[in-house]
Amino acid sequence: MLDDDRTVEPPATLRDAEGGGSAPPRGTGRGVSEVPPSGRTAPLAQRGLVALFAVACGAAVANVYFAQPLLVTMGHDLSLSPALLGAVVTLTQTGYGLGLFFLVPLGDVTDRRRLVVTQLLLLVAALAAVTTARSAAALLAGMAGVGLLAVVTQTLVAYAASLAPPARRGRVVGTVTSGVVLGILLARTVSGFMADLAGWRSVYLASAVLTALLALVLYRVLPRHTNTAPEPLRYGQLLRSTVTLFARERLLRLRALLGLLIFAAFSILWSSLALPLSAPPYSFSHTAIGAWGLVGAAGALAATAAGRLNDRGLSGRTTGIALALLAVSWAPLTFVRSSLWALLVGVILLDLAVQAVHVTNQTLIHALHPEAGSRLIGGYMVFYSVGSATGALAATSLYAAAGWGAVCALGAAVSCLAFALWACTRDAAPGPTTGMPG
């Protein structure tokens, strides 16, 4: 079934994620091994290194969301029409989606340390392009590049999952995903504050510096990820196998559809929230708008808790309860124009729900074929990106045409659809397919 309160156990573990125990990898002839540089122990053998994965993921993914509270200012600075404001978010998410399909799968067949560091350095160049953009075309191209390369986040998530033992994989994925959640939500707070302090370009300049520093640190501490397969997959085969995985694994398809819907709802809120908050009666500054990301940081708590619940075999109940909360969250959000307390409650419920489902999704699908973890998570996240991009474009367009009430109606409809999908498929019984598509 879609999730019957059981986790799917993978065939092997590489290393205890929180300090103890290891098991030799058991592969399919297309495996990889982790080789620590300079004889050091591999990451995830210490809790501090789990935290480093979380920090790196959060810093990378934040680049995708910095623009959301800055759209109005960026539009004024570069003479963007209202219709193009949504395109800034949509192009970034489109780039992210392309990177998920074309770049993340490389983690299954190449040295992940080299892949991570290379992507981070290229991300620095894309951030520099955004910082120096003087036209709408240059900005949009730079933002697409930022989205394309920010997928290093998912390479790191798959990397962390591959190093964790089955009994603690949900916990590790939850911890790393909590970093992703904080990166997404604090991005708005940081970008709003820095834009008020030194202009919107300072946000991307500071991120470029931080990303360069992270590239150096990760190069020093990550283990090499050496391909041990006698006949490694070629790039074309790698991409085709991602499609084959979707064709063969019903659980992956269903969880990907849930991911699309929950992140469409997530993007409907966060891509359009700056519009009513920057208008009367509030007329909030960038800092005040971005500070609402701190409220949504409660989602990080849901990420860690959901990972632990999945390790206990409660993935089905976690998903159902979270999706119900997602649908309910839009009721208080309808009253944003008259009550900030309503916004507070709605944001907390929505972010808790989205992150709980997201962590459960990733943990379940990675367990189907751990040796193809990058392809599984990358393929799943393509649906996330499609949902985010579609939600952003739909929300900003609908707000301009019909106002905040229509945006909330759309978000509620998408959320109810996600719950209905789960309810209608939870009694089905897909299992992991034996063997890996080549």
Q: Is residue 435 part of a domain?
A: no
User: What is the rounded distance in angstroms from the CA atom of residue 176 to the CA atom of residue 25?
Assistant: 22
- Is the pLDDT at 92 greater than 70, yes or no? yes
7 belongs to a structural domain: no
Q: Is residue 15 part of a domain?
A: no
Cα–Cα nearest to 332, from 295, 280, 301, 368? 295
Residue 17 belongs to what H/E stretch?
none
Domain count for the chain: 1
Task: State how far the Cα of 131 lies from the Cα of 164, in Å rounded to an integer.
Answer: 38
pLDDT of residue 8 exceeding 70, the answer is no
> What's the rounded Cα separation, in Å, for the pair 100 and 416?
27
- Number of residues assigned to the chain: 438
- Domain membership of residue 13 (yes or no) is no
Provide the angle, in degrees to the nearest 10, between the axes of the packed helices 169-198 and 286-296: 170
User: 0.85 exceeded by the pTM?
Assistant: no
- Say how many Å lie between the first and final Cα of the chain, rounded: 26
Summarize pLDDT for 287-322 with one digit per residue, the tens: 787 777 777 776 667 666 777 787 787 888 889 999
* Amino acid letter for position 34: E
Instruction: Write the pLDDT tens digit of every residue in 43-60.
Output: 454 667 788 999 999 999
* Partners of 273 in the β-ladder: none
Is 24 inside a domain boundary?
A: no
State the CATH number of the domain containing residue 151: 1.20.1250.20
Q: Is residue 163 part of a domain?
A: yes
Question: Which of 93, 28, 32 has its CA nearest to residue 67?
Answer: 93
Amino acid at 230: P
In a domain, 6, yes or no: no
Most confident of 201-205, 231-235, 283-287, 379-383: 201-205
34 backbone dihedrals φ, ψ, rounded to 5°: -100, 120
Rounded CA separation 403/412 (Å):
15
| Cβ within 8 Å of residue 204, ≥6 positions away | 63, 66, 127, 128, 130, 131
> 40-49, 143-152, 352-361, 390-399 — which one is most confidently predicted on average?
143-152
Range of the structural domain that residue 351 is part of: 32-425
- pLDDT tens per residue across span 216-262: 999 998 877 555 555 667 888 888 888 899 999 999 999 999 999 99
Residue 381 lies in a domain: yes
